[in-house]
């Protein structure tokens, strides 16, 4: 796959693409090929339309390193344009072609098709957590995103002082549109977060950790991409093949709460929605699951 990227870059140069733009384009193609390689797809003739569809779904839920938010619609369009160009390269060099259809999901479309886990799959994710420091951190991560329904950036920005065990609450001060809220913690969540703070975090933390709640094995703040990698590994270990991300845990708890009888108003408050319309999507998801 790496040879293909190098050859593609040379092809772009031969067509007189500006060198910086050519490298950026080749980088997007490399990202796509790395995604495939992680799924044991190593030859271009193995690439199917479903692989491309799932790749764009993953892109639409990916966190930007620059903004800390999901990739914008315009950014996703640049990936689509580059893959169309890459398909042209494959065709002109007799290496096949890719079916890059204009109807592939954009960020807005994917948000309308929210992916949820079943309660059985949630149990499998928890069971996939090991008993070492990183496994204990994984369980705390699941409890923050599923048990408390946090947005991805809210979990990344969580600090030690935000976990208020005495009140059984998480203090979210960096929510969407900078809104502040308190999220109740169930007893299982309290137990998971307490175990992480008492057992796992002290072994991981160092001078670089600061007040960050989640820290990496190097001791620095655990970023969104690193969390996504850990979550993907949990999914693989749990043998769950859904193209779901950490944010799917938020959709899942909302759906499960609705199925258990909680009112839309209560769920809206729990999730930090500013209007009830944002919560009503879960009535549709609940009826389908």
Half-sphere exposure (Cβ direction) of 82: Cα atoms closer than 13 Å: 25
The CA distances from residue 145 to 12, 102, 130, in Å, are: 42, 33, 18
- Catalytic residue, from 176, 181, 237, 269: name it: 176
2 is catalytic: no
- Catalytic residue, from 55, 79, 145, 282: name it: 282
- Catalytic residue, from 28, 250, 251, 256: name it: 250
The secondary structure of 168-236 as a DSSP string is TEEEE-S-GGG--EEEE--HHHHHHHHHIIIIIHHHH--TT-TTBSSB-TTSSBPPHHHHHHHHHHHHH
- Catalytic residue, from 80, 139, 151, 157: name it: 151
- Catalytic residue, from 152, 230, 247, 251: name it: 247
196 is catalytic: no
Helix (H) or strand (E) holding 267: helix 264-271
151 is catalytic: yes
Instruction: Choose among 150, 214, 212, 153: nearest CA to 182.
Output: 150
Here the tokens at position 73 are 């619609």
247 is catalytic: yes
| Residue 63 DSSP symbol | B
97 is catalytic: no
Q: Measured over all CA atoms, what is the biggest interatomic distance in the chain, rounded to whole angstroms?
A: 66
51 is catalytic: no
Active site amino acids: 151, 176, 247, 250, 273, 282
């Amino acid at each position: 796959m790496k040879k293909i990227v190098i050859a593609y870059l040379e092809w772009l140069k031969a067509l007189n693409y500006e060198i910086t733009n050519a490298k950026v384009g080749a980088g997007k193609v490399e990202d796509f090929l790395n995604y495939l390689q992680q799924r044991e797809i190593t030859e271009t003739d193995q690439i199917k339309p479903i692989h491309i569809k799932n790749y764009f779904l993953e892109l639409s839920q990916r966190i930007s390193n620059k903004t800390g938010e999901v990739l914008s619609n315009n950014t996703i369009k640049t990936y689509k344009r580059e893959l169309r160009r890459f398909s042209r390269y494959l065709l002109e060099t007799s290496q096949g072609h890719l079916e890059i259809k204009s109807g592939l999901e954009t960020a807005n479309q994917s948000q309308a098709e929210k992916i949820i886990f079943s309660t059985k799959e949630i149990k499998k994710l928890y069971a996939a957590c090991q008993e070492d420091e990183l496994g204990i951190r994984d369980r705390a991560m699941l409890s923050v995103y599923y048990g408390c329904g946090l947005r991805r950036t809210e979990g990344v920005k969580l600090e030690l002082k935000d976990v208020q065990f005495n009140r059984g609450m998480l203090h979210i001060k960096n929510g969407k549109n900078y809104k502040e809220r308190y999220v109740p913690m169930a007893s299982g969540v309290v137990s998971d977060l307490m175990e992480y703070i008492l057992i796992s975090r002290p072994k991981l933390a160092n001078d670089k950790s600061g007040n960050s709640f989640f820290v990496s094995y190097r001791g620095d703040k655990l970023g969104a991409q690193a969390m996504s990698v850990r979550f993907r590994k949990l999914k693989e270990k749990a043998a769950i093949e859904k193209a779901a991300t950490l944010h799917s845990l938020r959709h899942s708890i909302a759906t499960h709460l609705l199925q258990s009888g909680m009112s839309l108003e209560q769920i809206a408050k729990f999730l930090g929605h500013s209007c009830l319309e944002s919560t009503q999507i879960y009535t549709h998801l609940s009826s389908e699951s």
